[in-house]
Amino acid sequence: MGEINTRVTLCGITLDNPVIPASGTFGYGYEFAELYDINCLGTFSFKGTTRDPRFGNPTPRIAECTAGMINAVGLQNPGVERVIAEELPRLATCFHKPVMANVSGFSVEDYAYTCERLDSEPQVGWLEVNVSCPNVHGGGMSFGTSPEAAAEVTRAVKRVTTKPVIIKLSPNVTDIVAIAGACEEAGADGISLINTMLGMRIDLRTRKPVIANKMGGFSGAAIFPVAVRMVYQVAHAVKIPVVGMGGVSTAEDVIEMMLAGATAVEVGAANLIDPFASKRIVEDLPAVMKKYGITKLEDIIGGVL
């Protein structure tokens, strides 16, 4: 076997490896930088950022489940102006690679404003646009549940940005391929999936939902097979790169996601269970590649037979 090469190129930017901590599980990076050198990562997707500050949902907002968790944090964040003024300068002291900016919004104007502000930040490499948010002007259904709404957000963001735009899709839909196709047609540079599924737990003693919000995002190892299936479907239907996520917790999972068609792979809930999870996956990758006769990771993208 030749020299092991873990590099991948995502929307024109080369990553040392495809491992990316997912938004909402890695803060703005510097908290994890106190534990290890986060420059070992391909990049990371920072906390979902909105136009205005958000306090988030009432507590309790986390519930444990078999092989996973449910959360309804509610996009708690300080708002885009403070992220630019405070979080990004602090991040620049400990992370020296392009970072993925995760953006959420409740109207098309929200998305466009926040993306335009972040687009001018030199450290931002990609804009990961989360269309799983409720559309306040559209009756509360998420932008990501209809091809038309997802395409409208994509077009609005592409009009005001110069950096690669990756649309992050919700799995809580009937036909994820149609939505991914609409985003590609509207100019998306990549597709990111899957966001959390919708889950619920009930406390047997109180007979009430465990989470104050009743339902929340279900993530963790339990959703991995669903994520692999959706990544496979979308990657085979679009020509733009796919970032795969959903229950990824080992280097083997990364390889499996890439075989399904992912160019890069995000690690979410695993970071909340073990803060060193992403570092461990990066370190394990070369040995796992060797085990399966892979010398160059880029060669296996979409390589499922």
Q: Which of 11, 115, 133, 183 is catalytic?
A: 133
Does the annotation mark 133 as catalytic?
Answer: yes
CB pairs under 8 A, 24+ apart, for 112-117? 112/156, 112/157, 112/159, 112/160, 113/51, 113/80, 114/49, 114/50, 114/51, 114/80, 115/157, 115/160, 115/161, 115/165, 116/160, 116/161, 117/80, 117/81, 117/84
Length of the chain, in residues: 305
The answer to whether the CB of 54 falls within 8 A of the CB of 197 is no
The secondary structure of residue 48, as a DSSP letter, is P
**How far apart are alpha carbons 214 and 191 in whole angstroms?**
29
Q: Which residues of 81-108 are buried (b: 16+ CB within 10 A; e: fewer)?
A: eebbeebbeebeeebeebbbbbbbbbbb
Look up residue 103 and give its two tokens.
């953006």
Would you tell me how many other CB atoms lie within 10 Å of the CB of residue 203? 12
Look up residue 250 and give its two tokens.
């080992």
**How far apart are alpha carbons 203 and 16 in whole angstroms?**
45
Which amino acids are annotated catalytic? 133
